[in-house]
Structure 1
């Protein structure tokens, strides 16, 4: 495995910078801040009927609906290759333990959310909410940022951490989308469009590249990216219209796109040397995603310090207690049945991974609008997501002064 791309560090810094600016703005001038991010430049009723940029075209929905699908495509591409490529680091049985730990963390965090909601929540509107999906999205960007401080550059645990965080986030978006679709109504027939677009792309663009007798001219023609951009536009419109999170819009195209036959590791720097369409697209998106994550922090990451409420405690309990507990129980269960932990990691290293996955921010912010009632409850949950970031520095200090890790890797 080659070292991960330095862009991951830039992603974390951009996200934190955007969220910090937004937090200062919302606490000092909340009216001005909300007027800017909720500004409607034109009448978006025609878009509303198709649930595009729901609930209206604003700077905030522009980022979450149109730009964040690019980020999800980027992380989805990494997990797709790790699972399916011949030399993927988590192909076949290698994925069993990480997947089990992710599912364990999701189930445990949901149960803790429900238990704490029954104990602490007093708002009547919380009864029918599906807030239990909120802790599902571990923050891959920030977990890696702090994980690199704990494990060191190139440590085998970082690849496992990236895989688990991405899987947790994508599954969380899927579950929240089906549990609480946009406007409370799932239009499942629209989902045929992304899969038809993927089928068209495979048979007309990808399959010709697999023919050993194809000419170089036809190979160049079939490897162009612009047809995939058109198919992506159809997929995005249909995903939004169906009621699922628009952030998932480009994922159905991943299985259809041509990709390399060798894996260097998740977000490996060496992938920039590959020339297949999927890696070329990924390489072209690396720098724009820095701006996208800054804008996400700026438009969705504002933490109102006066919004502290029961939902804040519920969010922190589900993330800090439920998720690590479920991951560790699953890891212990794998050891009991004799299945090795991924990359020969120790239980202490898995413990740090479990703690880092208790950081929830980027993808849960996208699920917030439909998973919880608007107003005070959403702002309290957003504050809980923001406070969960403090787990990162706490684990860094613990690794240096409390429970250090062996550096002999």
Structure 2
């Protein structure tokens, strides 16, 4: 057998690296920093001109700016993978068993409700800004998992499962909020057509293993065009087009690995699509969205001082950095105190405090909600972006301090246990 060519090997290594949480999170940081530096440089006009370039198909109401294409189009790939992961979790993962799932599910709900309440209370005297109440409710799963992977080599495995489940439910709640509260008007016929296409997509996906579509090319030749049509119709209906991505992801069958015959090594469709689309999402779609969403002209130190003096900025930072961990810890304590459900024995409250701080990294979905809450280019829109980026950095640093300390403690305990066994 001939060995792979260097090009093929290099391509495979690149795709493999893009499937790692740390790499995806790193690309997000690079894209956001690039946008911030460019938007505040002497070449700032070229950045905003690039973001506002319109391309597409005017007769189909798809003449959109590059920034809008990134938020409505590319981010749909990310949400499609969220839908696939949620389907897998609800079918065969931790969300399948009520006793296992109820604690992180309740924690996610608390991590949405408390930040929203804090923001609303702080913005009571500014009713024109109340529309941004959902900005601090989201958690950026890519950033959060990447940081946990970097600093949490000795933390309990149950902590990562808790974070993943919490973030998955958080994403589901954020999707519902976008669909319900940020859809101003609905055109019924395109919406019904989108639902019809999604149903057809799901029926074809369900027959992946038993029909003519059980071919490697079918995902691109059959499913991809149907997905694009569903996305276009959903966009035309007035419902945020990323909802189409989630709905399509939910239709993908997620077969349990243990149900496969020993001689049948063919991966199920959820695994195939996740394997192929993960590099595209982590390596291109989400970083490009971050690049166009994070660029805000802060106007130097004077502009930052102005931004940080705004009630909106303070409310978002307080809701993310304080509200997220407070909501997660309080709801977790309540459900474990007053129900039969409980935490994994390996988890301690300081560990959960670190995860609560990680959940304060809003970034991707928070930036998307900011785009929907305020008029792009308005002062409120820019203040919200500054607040989201600042809160994400603060939450990440605090989480690294807490979880880094916990990681050292677990590492020391493991070392002591090894020494005892060796003796």
Q: Same fold (TM over 0.5)?
A: yes
**Alignment partner, residue 80 of structure 1:** 87
Whether the aligned pair in 2 keeps the contact of 1:360 and 1:389 (CA below 8 Å) is: yes
Q: Deviations over 1:150-199 (max 9, x none)?
A: 42278221122122123213321321332122xx2133554333432233
- Equivalent residue pairs, number: 375
Instruction: Output aligned runs, 1:362-377, within 5 Å.
Output: 362-374=364-376, 375-377=378-380
Aligned partners of 1:399, 1:235: CA distance in 2, in Å?
Answer: 42
Cα displacement (A) at 1:115: 0.8
- Give the aligned partner of residue 52 of structure 2: 38
1:249 Cα shift? 1.4
**In the alignment, which residue of structure 1 is the partner of 2:277?**
285
1:108 aligns with 2:102: no
Check whether the contact 2:231–2:241 (CA below 8 A) recurs between aligned residues. yes
Is 1:158–2:160 an aligned residue pair?
A: yes
Determine the C-alpha separation between the residues in 1 that align with 2:354 and 2:114: 17
What is the correspondence of 1:224-235 to structure 2 with a 5 Å cutoff? 224-225=218-219, 226-235=221-230
Query: Residue 130 of structure 1: SS of its match in structure 2?
Result: helix
**Counterpart for residue 179 of structure 2:** 177
Correspondence for 1:268: none
Cα deviations by residue, 1:132-153 (Å, 9 ceiling, x for unpaired): 1111210101111222234227
1:19 maps to which residue? 32
RMSD: 2.8
1:187 aligned onto 2:187: yes
CA–CA distance in structure 2, aligned partners of residues 405 and 320 of structure 1: 24
Distance 1:276 1:208, change over 3 A: closer
Instruction: Name structure 2 gaps, 5 residues minimum.
Output: 1-16, 259-264, 415-423
Determine which structure has more spread, i.e. the larger CA radius of gyration.
2
SS in 1 for 2:218: coil
Residue 59 (structure 1) aligned with residue 52 (structure 2): no
For 1:348-367, what aligned pairs fall within 5 Å after superposition? 348-367=350-369
Mapped pair 1:399 → 2:403: yes
**2:207–2:213 CA contact under 8 A, matched in 1:** no
Q: Structure 1 residue 97 and structure 2 residue 114: aligned?
A: no
Q: Which residue of 2 aligns with 1:310?
A: 311
CA contact (8 A) 1:76 1:166 kept: no
Higher deviation after alignment, 363-372 or 298-307 = 298-307
Q: 2:256 aligns with which of 221, 246, 261?
A: 261
> Within 2, Cα distance between the matches of 1:132 and 1:239?
24
Question: Pick from 123, 136, 139: which aligns with 1:117?
Answer: 123
Hey, what's the Cα distance between the residues in 2 that align with 1:6 and 1:255? 21
CA contact (8 A) 2:28 2:287 kept: yes
The 3 A distance-change label for structure 1 pair 163 and 33 is same
Whether 1:146 aligns to 2:152 is no
Q: Contact 1:173–1:367 at 8 Å: present in 2 too?
A: no
Following superposition, the deviation at residue 294 of structure 1 comes to: 2.1
The reply to whether residue 71 of structure 1 matches residue 78 of structure 2 is yes
Deviation string for 1:294-353 (max 9, x for gaps)?
212211112433261321111101111222111111110122123112575222222111
Task: Give the CA deviation at 1:403.
Answer: 8.9
Q: CA-to-partner distance for each residue in 1:40-87, whole Å, 9 max, x for gaps? A: 257x64343xxx4xxx522211211221111111122122201212xx
| More divergent stretch after superposition (7-16 vs 249-258) | 249-258
1:380 is aligned to 383
CA distance in 2, matches of 1:302, 1:208: 42
Answer with 67-76 or 303-312: which moved more. Answer: 303-312
CA contact (8 A) 1:260 1:276 kept: yes
Structure 1, unpaired ranges of 5+: 264-272
Distance 2:37 2:140 in 1: 22
How far off is 1:354 after superposition? 0.8
Normalising by structure 1, report the TM-score: 0.83
Taking the aligned partners of 2:391 and 2:405, their CA distance within structure 1 comes to: 21
Q: How far does residue 402 in structure 1 lie from its aligned partner after superposition?
A: 8.0
TM-score for both structures, normalised by structure 2: 0.80
Counterpart residue number, 1:267: none
1:404 and 1:205 map into 2 onto residues whose CA distance is 46
